[in-house]
Structure 1
Amino acid sequence: MELTSGINRLQTRIRTSRISREFGIDTLAEHLEGYLPEPAIARVRAAYEFGERQHRGQFRKTGEPYIYHPLAVARILAEMRLDATTLIAAILHDVIEDTDAAREEVAKRFGKEVADLVDGVSKLDKAQFHSREQATAESFRKLMLAMTRDIRVILVKLADRLHNMRTLEGMTAKKRASIARETLEIYAPIARRLGINSMRQELEELGFKNMYPRRYEVLRRASQSVTGDRRSLLREIEETLSRALAAEGIGAIVKGRRKNLYSIYRKMREKHRRFLDVFDLYGVRVIVDAVDECYRGLGIVHHRYRPITEQFNDFIANPKLNGYQSLHTTVMARGGIKFEVQIRTREMDQIAESGIAAHWQYKLGEKAGKLGNLDAEEWLAHLAEMHEGERDSLRFVDNLRMDLFPDEVYVFTPKGKIIRLAKGATCVDFAYAVHTELGDRCVAARIEGHLAPLNSQLQSGQTVEIITAKHARPNAAWLHFLKTAKARTGVRNFLKNQREDKAQRLGERLLDKSLGDLGLSLRRLSRSDIDRGLAEMGEPSLPALYAAIGLGRRLAPLVARHFLASDAPVAKGRRAKPLAVEGTEGLVVEFAKCCHPVPGDAIHGQASLGRGLVVHRFGCAYSTRKGSSADRVELTWADNVTGEYDVELRVTASNKRGLLATLTAKFANADCNIQNIVFPESSGALITIRFLIDVRDRHHLANVIRRLRRINAVERVERS
C-alpha cells in the first residue's frame, strides 16, 4: 500500500513538473510576445498572480495544482491569437465559481469587461434549483445569453471544455462518459456552428474516445491497418498535384490528412456502412492564393483523376452557415481508391480552422466583440430571440440542440435569395427563416410553382414561395413537424401571447362578475382602490392581474374583496349575471372531460390552477366532489356560441354482423364526426359501444340520439 502511494506521489510530481514547464506563466508569456504588446502581457501576468493566490491549495482530480487548468485554457486561446482581455478571463474563469473572489473584486482589479466574461462562464448555484437537470439547463442558458452579448464567453468555455476533455483520466468511467456525451451533443456542435474546425475535431475525437472507448479502439486499429498503402498513395497524389499546379503557374500548398475517427464512425452509423466501405479515410487539401485559382485548380484535379460527379460541393458559391468556404470533390485514384480533395484560399483555410476567431477585430476605437462573420452575428441574434421567446430552460436547451444541426439544405426565395435550413426542414421552417411575420401568416406554399402543404420537406435547389392570409394564425400541430429552433420558438411564442391575451380578457370578465356580486364594478373602482388592491396582492398592473385570474392562478371572488374599501359594506342579496361562455376562448377555457358540456346544457365553472376556467355540466358529480364554493363561477352560454364540442355516447345494441357500419353511417348522416370508439373487452348477445363524437349544441346531439334509436338493433342510447 505504501509503495503504491509513493509511486502515485512520484507520478504526480513528474506530471506537475512537466505541466509546469509546458503551461507555466513564463511559457505563456513567451508565446504572447509574438503578437501582444508588453503592457498587455503584464496584465496577463497580474491575472495569473491573482488567480494563483485564489486557487492556492486547490488540486484537480489528476493531482496537479488547480491553477494549471486555467493556464492551459489561456494557452489554447493564445494559440488562436486572442486578445489580452480574453486570456485574462480564461485565467480567472473559475475564481468566481470556485473561490472566495467576488465579481466586484474581479471588476475592480481587471475591469468590467473581464468580470462580465468570467461571470458569463461561471455556473449558477445548484442549491437554488429543484433538480440537477434544471440547474445545468439554467447555467447553460446563462452561458448562451452571455455569448450573445460577447462571443468571447463561448470561446473561453470551449477552451475550458477542451482542456477538461484532455485530462479526464482522473474521473470515473461513468463520469467520463457523461461529460463526453455532453461534449458531443452540445460543445462540439457549437464549435462546428462557429466554424472553429480545429477545436471541433479534437472535441469530437476525445468525446468519442471517452464515450465509446471500445468502438474507438476498434476503429483506431482498423484505421492503422490500412494506413501503409493509403499513405504511400497519398504522398503520390500530393506530388502529382503539386507538379501539375505549379506547371499552370498556381503556387499551392498540397497536404494530405486523415479524417478523424468520430467522423468515420458517424458516417458508418448514419449510412449503415462497414468500415471498409468508408472511402474517404484520407483526403488532400489544396491551398491557393485566390478564388479563381480554386476553380482552375479544380479543373487540374479533374484532369488528373476521374471525378465522382455526384460527390461535388461548391461551398465557395454557397458557404455553410458557419462561414466555411471550400470546393469539395471526390476523385478516383489508382486501384479504384476514392479520395476527397478540398480546394480553398489561405483566408478560407484560416476561417475553416479558427472560425469566428479568425474574424476577430481589435483595433483602437472599435467596439470589443465586433465580428466579421455576418452568419455568426445572425445566429447570435437568433439565440437572443430564442432566449426571449422560450422561458423554460430545459426546452431552450432542446431547441438549441435542434439548431446545432450538421446537415443543411439550400433553398431560394422567389427573388433568388438563398435560405439555408436544417436537413428535413419544411415550408413553415422556411417561412420563419425569412421573417417571423411570414411564418405567423402562412397557409400554404408553392414549391417550384406547384402548390404544396406546409409540412412538405424541402430539398436543396428548390424555389419556395409562401402563401399567406391576413387572418391566418400558427397552429400548435405544426410543432410536430418543425425542424428549426427559430420556427418552433416562433410558434410557441405566438401561442403563449395568444393565451395571455385571451387570459386577460377572461380574467377581466371574471373579476367584473365577482365585483358585481359585491355590488361593485370595474368602472366604479377608484384609482386609489385599484392601486391599493394591486399592492396588497403584489401584482404589477391590472392586465397582469387579469391574466393571473384567467389562467387560474388567482380566484376572482377573493381578488374582488381586495378592491373593497375597508369601511365599504358588502352588498347583500345581490347577484350578478352569470358569465357568458362564447366557445372561442381557446386555451384559457377548458371543457371538462368528465361530463362533456355542450351549448344548451346548464353549466358552471371552476377556476383551476394553470388550466384557467374549467366548464362543467350542472350537477357533475366530479366537480361537486373535487371543487369548492370559493372557486365556483356561474356560467351561461352566449347567444353567438360557436364551434364543435365533445360528447360521449354509450350505445347498447344486439351484437349482429354489420352493426358498427350501420352506426357509423347514422353518425355521418347526422353530420357528426367520430373521434374515438371503445369496444367492450368481451361480447355477448348485447354489447355496449362507447363513441366520442363532435356536436354543435344540445339540439344537434338530440338529433343524433333520435337517429340512433331508430335502428332496430339498438336497445339503448345514453349520454355518459
Structure 2
Amino acid sequence: MLAADDLIALVENYNPRTDKALIRRAYDYGRAMHEGQFRQSGEPYFSHPVAVAALLTEQRLDDATLVTALLHDTIEDTRSTFSEVEALFGADIASLVDGVTKLTNLQLSSTQTKQAENFRKLFMAMSKDLRVILVKLADRLHNMRTIKSMRHEKQVQKSRETMDIYAPLAGRMGMQWMREELEDLAFAVLNPEGRQSIMRRFVTLQRETGDVVQRITRDMRKELDDAQIDAEVYGRAKKPYSIWRKMQEKELAFSRLSDIYGFRVITKTERDCYAALGVIHQRWRAVPGRFKDYISQPKSNGYRSIHTTVSGRDGKRVEVQIRTRQMHDVAEAGVAAHWSYRDGVLSENPFAVDPTRWINSLTEQFVGEEDHEDFLEAVKLEMYSDQVFCFTPKGDVIKLPKGATPLDYAYAIHTRIGSGCVGAKVDGLRVPLWTRLRNGQSVEIITAQGQVPQATWLDIAATGKAKTAIRRALREADRERYIKLGRELARSAFEHVGQKATDKTLETAARHLRLGSAKEVLARLGSAEITSTEVVEAVYPNLVHDTRDTVPKQRAVIGLGEGQSFDRAPCCEPLPGERIVGITERGRGVVVHAIDCEALAEYEDEPDRWLDLHWQPGTHAAVYDMTIDLTIGNDAGVLGRICTLIGERKANISNLEFIDRKPDFYRLLIHVELRDIEQLHTLMTALEAESDVAAVERFRDPLRIKGDRV
C-alpha cells in the first residue's frame, strides 16, 4: 500500500501546488475509518482507496477528486457520515463522496424498465459532477485488477457488470485505454479458455514471424524521419478481448485476422498529422473504407485523431492513429482532461470538452428508447428466479435472495442501518423482523439510536452479509473479554522468550503492526486475528525463530465443545491463519470451513449448526493437505523445476493429478502438505514468479463432500 508521502509525491509530479495537508488529512482519516477492515485477499481494506487515488493521479486529476477517492467508501462502509466528511473536508468533497456512494448502491441490472430508470439516475449523478463517475471507474478498475480474491460467483457477476456497463461507459467518455483494460480483465473471468487461446496464438505467431511491432515501428520512424516530420511512434498488439470480439463478429479464425496490431503516431502540429498520413499512405497501401478523420470531425467527448488501416506486401494489416500531443492527452483522459493539471495549474488543452455540456448532450441522445442500444451495447437484462426485488421508499431496487427478511434488507442498504434496526414496515404495515419478503414489496426500516445487534438476529438473517455483520458486532461487544484473553496470551508468549508484556512493550508491538493501541493488539490477539508469535516478533524478531510454541492437532481449533472433534472441509481446505467457521455434522463432529467457502451458502438457513471458530495462535505441529491448480508449459524439465521449487519452500508434495494435456501446456493439481496460510502465500508467490507457469491458483471444489479426519 502506498504511504501518504508516496501518494503526495505522485501528485506533485504534475501539480507542485497541491494541498499536501488536505491529502494527508484525507489519507489519515480514511485509514482510521477503515481500520480493522480487510479485503477478501487479506490486505487492509484501505489499500483499495489508496490504489484508486493512485490510478487517478495517472490522469493528473485535481485534489478534490483524489480526496474523494481516498474517502469514497467511508460513508458506505464505516461509521463515517456525510455531515462529518462535510465538516472535515468541505461541502464539495462531501458531495462527491456521497455521489460515489449512491452510484455504488445503484442496481444497474434488473428488469428492462427499472434498468432504464437507474441509468437515468446514473446520468443525473454524472451531470451534477462528472468526477463522481471518474472515481467510480477507477474504483471498478482496481477491483477488477484484484478480482481473483473474490468468490467465483462474485467474479462472474462483477465481470458481467463491467463488460456490460462500466467498460462501454469508459469508452463513451473517451477513456479508451480504460475500456480495453476493463474488457480484457472481465474477459479473463468470463471466458478464460478463450483468452488463453488468443495468448497462445500470439506467442506462436511471434515465434513464426518475429517481433512485428518492433519492425513496423522502426520502418515508420525511418519514413517520418526521411520526410523531416518530428513525431513519436508507438506500436502494440491489440488486447485479447478486442481480437476475440472481431473473430466472433466476422466469424473468422485467428489465422485469418489481419489487423491485430495497432500503431500510434504523435506529432507536434496538426499540419504534421496530415503530412504523416501522406507519408504512411505512400509507403503502405491504404485499405479502402478504413479511413476516419476525427480531427476535422471530432467526437463529442473531445477525441481527435486520424484513423487509417494499411497493409504491406505480406498482406498484414495494421491500424494507425495519428494525432498531436494535446490530442493524445485528451484521447488518454477523455472527458477527465477538463480537470487535468500540469505544473500546478489546470491544463489549458484546447481539445478538452466542457463536461457539463458533454453530459447534457449525451443525456439528450438517450432520452428516446430507440437510442439506448447505442450506449448499452451488449447489456444483458437478467431476472433470476431465486431472487426477490424489493423497493426502498424512494423507489430504488434492492436485490435479495429468496427467504430474505427485513433485517437482510436493512443490512443490504447499509451496515449502520442494519445494526440500528428496531422494526420494519412492508407496504406500509408494521411486520416482525423475521417476515419473509416477496417480489415487489416496498420496505421501510425503522431505526433507533443506541440499538445494537442481538444474538437472536443470527437466526433471523438469511444472507451472508447480514450474518457476518451481526457476528462482527457481537465480537465487538465481547471486546473486553478478548482483551483479557489476549493479555494472558501475550504474557505467556513473552515469558517464553524471557521478556515481559509491559504496556510499553505492547505499544511498541502496536506501532510495528500498524494497530492503533496496545488494547487493539490484545483484542485482536484474543480473537485470533493475529497470533502471539506475530506480536512477539514485532518487538523481538531475533528471539522468535527458535522459541515458537507448536500447536498439537488436538488443540488446533478454538471454540469446539467438550469432546468435539473436527474435520477440515475438503471443499475449501482451510489452513491455520485463515478465518474459519464450523458446521456441525451428524457422525463427523464439526466440519471446519474457510469463511469465504462457497459451500457455506447451503447452511445459511440452519444457523443452529454454525460455530464461531478460530485457529489456535502459534506454529502448528501438524501439516495439512492443500491442493494447487497449476498450468505450466509443456517443455522438458519444467515439472522437475516446479517440484524443486516447492521443496525449497519446505512443502512436501503428496500427490499429482494431471487434468488436461495439450501440445504446448498441461494443467495439473498438486497436493502439498503445508503448515499454515503464510506458507501457502509464500509458495503461491514463488510459483507465480516462474516464467514457465501460465496460471496458478488455490483449488477449491464446493462439490467435494467427503474428507479425511484431521
TM-score by length of 2: 0.49
TM-score by length of 1: 0.48
User: Which structure would you say has the larger RCO, counting Cα contacts within 8 Å and 6 or more residues apart?
Assistant: 2
